[in-house]
Copies of this chain bind each other. A is one copy, B any other.
Amino acid sequence: MQRTLSRRRFIASAAAASVLPATLGHAGIPSSSVLGFPGDEPSAAPAGSVWDKAGVIDLTHSPFAKLKTVPVRAVTIEDGFWAKRRATNINSSIPSMHDELVAHGRMNNFLRLEGESSVSQTGPVYSDSDIYKWTEAVGFSLQTADHPELRKTTETMIQEVVAAQEPGGYLNTYYVGDRKPLRMLYPTQETGHELYNIGHLLQGSIAYYRATGDRTLLDAGIRFIDQFLIPGYGPGKNQKGIVAGHPEIEMALVELYRTTGKREYVDLAGYILRGDDRIPLTSGQITYMFCGIPFTSRTKLEGHAVRAMYACCGATDYYLETGDADYWKTLNHLWADLAEHQLYVTGGVGAREAGEAFGDAYELPNARAYGESCAAIGNMMWNWRMLAASGDARFADVMERALYNGINSGMSLDGTTYCYRNPLAFDPSGDSRDRHSPEGHIRNPWYDTTCCPPNLERTFASLPGYFYSTSEDGVYVHLYDNSKMDWQLQDGKGLQMVQTTNYPWEGDVKLTVSPSAPAEFAVYVRIPGWSAKSTVKVNGRQMEGAEPGKYFAIRREWSANDVIELSFDMTTQLLKANPAVVEDHGRVAFQRGPLVYCMEHLDQTDQQYGMNLTYFSTHLGAETSARFEPGLLDGVMVLEHPGSLSHPVQAEGLYFSASKTERLQEAPTTLKLIPYYAWANRGPAGMQVWIPYKNV
């Protein structure tokens, strides 16, 4: 039994919240208030963030970032594909997730430490992190627009969290009471998620600080690091060593450095990334946790997929600040492993349910794909950092693939249910259902391990920050949707960019470029890897040389209202997989623009054989037609393609002579496909991304 904080209490707490110092909203914010922390020594390190000028991560002063982030608040996403998803996120997902977190006792875990609740601790060791990740989602949302009630609720929650912090800086609702002696022991460091929780606290607090200027939670995080972690733990002789257990703290520490300017946090991240050989670890732990040995000794992606992705994020952040060439070498090697052997066509990663892990090279099962939403998000976050380090469009291609497909599938269209797993085939009558859900549903409003829902929420909330970067010589355009950027070039010159498009349904994008005064600089427009033939026009004049999977640089003197017109190739592509991917043998996947498609059984004309899609095949040589259906799944472009439906052979048993196949009867049919992200929004149905083909 656990006490439930009701909706009533939610509102009551919000109403009782004190007014915090920072005024909210875009206007009226003291916009150059660099954090000056008491006790900070003057240092040669670059200054910390200007709090309301930071992007998803803040690369303003990162010496090895070729591309600098643009503030989330500088970009407004307007009516279109992502605006709809983001409205659902703020209006439905974030509030309902709050209620779920409260109803499942996750805030009670803090309140009980303050004598406000007598019920016992609830949820797994990483439960605190879900509160922090939700706070981060709020923080990113408030960087776009104020939501006063949500802000007040969050302020109250932050106060309740901070009140649970011990005088020595320790903050965790699990390792208290009888479990206090277990704190930071080596077995606890490996499995207890103490630093994972704090990493999320830091990320959440930084996003909230960057939205509001409110540093209450951030200060609590800094106290944990400065007063508890650094004095007791680290490489020193009088310190106990650290192993991350679940990587996350590394990138959080680098972001804390970027926020405060205190170099010690980068050094601590580097120490954790190197691993401490005083800590005894088995080879199984080293594989699974993706930490504990020098990051630069890694040669492949393996073990728990989210851990590996977060470790790669932290290592790239560390590279962006230090330029350590060994890191860059290792990161590129691991990225090649990702792209050549481990990446689902949906941008998801992590093939295996056992250990939520990467499989062997080319081990990419479909129905049994794990493809945890968090792992796809980690993949996007990592590629975002690699892109910043290099300006190489291949990282943006992977980012876009993950965002539109394997991440976007994680949240239902109404924003109230979530996928933990994102398989590429599904049989609701079969065994391969979601084992995280007692009912076997693939989408659920809550998971006892509820890492994915707030992770999806923070991702959609931070999306404006991923559209653009600046470079020394101009501006990069990474993503396409109706939007406005109001920011500046690195020389401080103001720059507005306006996108008008029906992307991803159509391939035309109009970009209006308006510098505050005429100036020569480059606009780098991303030509997606999937666009075989693209055209680029500037003020009506066609430019030559746009290549798929590259940024196309348009270097000229720009004046207000110059227009770039992009036209991408939206021809539907039938993709094959490398023959070493055994489950995709003899199958194709459909992709149109950035969107990967799937068949759901309930869209097919032939409704025989229950919900089983096994007996459909597609004709390789035929043409695909695309048609927008405004009433379907909040409006999607559907694909239709000729195919066949054969009679089942199940009566023949598990194995049968190939010569008996001739007896199968086949009927022509038309396959209807929907974007993968929109699957499982209309009740149980068979689904498949990879469809058997015939050479017709």
A residues neighboring B (CB under 8 Å): 339-341, 343, 345, 352-355, 359-361, 363, 365-368, 425, 430-432, 573-583, 585-589, 612, 614-615, 620, 649-650, 652-659, 661, 692-693
Contact = CB atoms under 8 A, between A and B. Distances in A.
B589 A339 contact: no
Contacts of A653: 339-340, 578
B361 A575 contact: no
By Cβ-Cβ distance, the 5 closest A-B pairs, closest first, are: A586-B586, A354-B354, A360-B431, A574-B658, A579-B614
B345 A655 contact: yes
A654 B577 contact: yes
A250 B158 CA distance: 58
Contact of A354 (B341, B353, B430, B614): B353
A367 B582 contact: yes
A622 B224 CA distance: 72
B657 A578 contact: no
Contact of A575 (B339, B343, B655): B655
A578 B649 contact: yes
Given A339-B653, A339-B654, A343-B654, A360 B430 contact: yes
B582 A366 contact: yes
B360 A432 contact: yes
A655 B585 contact: no
Number of copies: 2
Given A360-B431, A430-B360, A430-B361, A650 B578 contact: yes
Contacts of A574: 657-659
A582 B583 contact: yes
A658 B575 contact: yes
A411 to B, nearest CB: 25
A614 B656 contact: no
Nearest to A660: B576
A585 B657 contact: no
Nearest to A581: B654
Nearest to A695: B695
Contacts of A620: 658
25 contacts: A339-B653, A340-B653, A360-B368, A360-B430, A361-B430, A363-B432, A365-B365, A365-B582, A367-B582, A425-B582, A574-B657, A575-B655, A575-B656, A575-B657, A576-B656, A576-B661, A577-B655, A578-B652, A579-B649, A580-B612, A582-B583, A583-B583, A583-B585, A585-B586, A586-B586
Contacts of A360: 367-368, 430-432
